Amino acid sequence: MRSLDRSKDQSYVLYGMTQHQLEHTLFPISEMSKDEIRLIAQENELVNAAKPDSQDICFIPDGDYARFITEAAGEQPRGDIRLTDGTLLGEHKGLIHYTIGQRKGIGVSYSEPLFVVDKDMVSNTLVLGKAPELARDSLTARDVNFIMFDKLDGEYHCTAQTRYHQKDVPCTISPLEDGRVRVDFDTPHRAISRGQAVVFYQGDHVVGGGTIE
């Protein structure tokens, strides 16, 4: 289930746990807030009582993911920046520098606000579009794990969350071949990113989740 402290809820990243793993796992502070835990640490004079919260990826403290990847894998190739209709707008500095839904810092000027709507890894193209083009009616997911039941046998109505700390939204999930699932949103959903997790909920209960294709 979700933590009572919703601001620190980690259920989105735990959807892949199996029943065997859950059977041998304890979550002893699930009903406590971070402030309560810090108070206990202070009362017991623990050295990390006032340690700042980690943000995003803890081993990249400055948040510069592009720099980290560049140092590990080398400079990333530049490529075209195009509109969804194919119009060439400029050149990007490597797809790792951009995220779906990004508006600022892209480096192109246009008569209307533009957002990153896709990153075509095959053609190394950054695709920009207007705000309505960010929304999607559906997605498919692979590597799906279910917690509340063993297998999805038919349509199932629940809610879905496609980013950490995002509000979950109503949807219907349906089984596809090879254990994949299709997710149809009740209303179009913005900024869906391939490779991110989509996690399904029934109230505060984690139904399961998978990787967005």
Task: Look at residue 87 in the predicted model and tell me its pLDDT.
Answer: 96
Task: Look at residue 108 in the predicted model and tell me its pLDDT.
Answer: 93
Q: Which of 193, 205, 212, 159 is nearest to 14 (CA)?
A: 205
Domains of the chain: 9-46+134-213 (2.40.30.10), 65-129 (2.30.30.280)
> Can you give the pLDDT of all 213 residues of the chain as single tens digits?
998 888 888 999 999 999 999 999 998 888 888 899 999 999 999 998 988 877 667 788 777 888 999 999 999 999 999 999 999 999 999 999 999 999 999 999 999 999 999 999 999 999 999 999 999 999 999 999 999 999 999 999 999 999 988 899 999 999 998 999 999 999 999 989 999 999 999 999 999 999 999
What is the model's pTM? 0.86
Q: What are phi and psi of 67, to 5 degrees?
A: -65, -45
- Please tell me the number of Cα atoms within 13 Å of 37 on its side-chain side: 13
CB atoms within 10 A of CB 82: 20
